[in-house]
Amino acid sequence: MNITLDTNIFLNVKNKEQPFYSYSNSILEEIDKEKSELNAIISIISLTELSIGYYKNKEIIEKEEFISGLYSNKKYKIKDLNINIADKAAEIRSQISLKLPDCIIIATALIENSEVLITNDSEFEKKAESLIKIHNSQDFFNKYLK
């Protein structure tokens, strides 16, 4: 199953943010299992957003290790911004009032034929539900991993 992960899934785990920490962590652990059927799609926008925190905290080595780990894990597919994703994001942005980075993440999910987009941003979830199957990490965990 191809799933797209929003930035906040990684932030929940990195910062141990409640109430979603355990659910987000369980999803990432499941993806990492060799025999898992989950494969994660990540927009380059998410890596950019995550890197900001590492830079602010002067955690450059940790940032490099994190990004290197994602790129070296065959279960994660990091998608660069390209003309198809940019155009789809513009179309989405013209239809719903979401921030452009969120539109790029949705566009990436759609173009990569992701079955589910996982986010813990309730506004994002509410506004995007007409475009793609979307769950927060708790709902995804309960529906697919429990």
**46: domain CATH number?**
3.40.50.1010
Residue with tokens 């793609």: 132
What's this model's pTM, rounded to 2 decimal places?
0.95
As for how many domains the chain has, the answer is 1
How far apart are the C-alpha atoms of 26 and 16, rounded to whole Å?
12
Q: Return d(Cα 143, Cα 1) in angstroms, integer.
A: 13
Instruction: Name the residue type at position 66.
Output: F
Portion of the chain with pLDDT greater than 70, in percent: 100
- Confidence check: pLDDT of 59 > 90: yes
| Domain around 97 | 2-145
Residue 146 clears pLDDT 90, i.e. is over it? no
Mean pLDDT of 7-13: 96
**Segment 102-139, tens digit of pLDDT:** 999 999 999 999 999 999 999 999 999 999 999 999 99
Angle at 18 between CA 25 and CA 122, to 5 degrees: 90
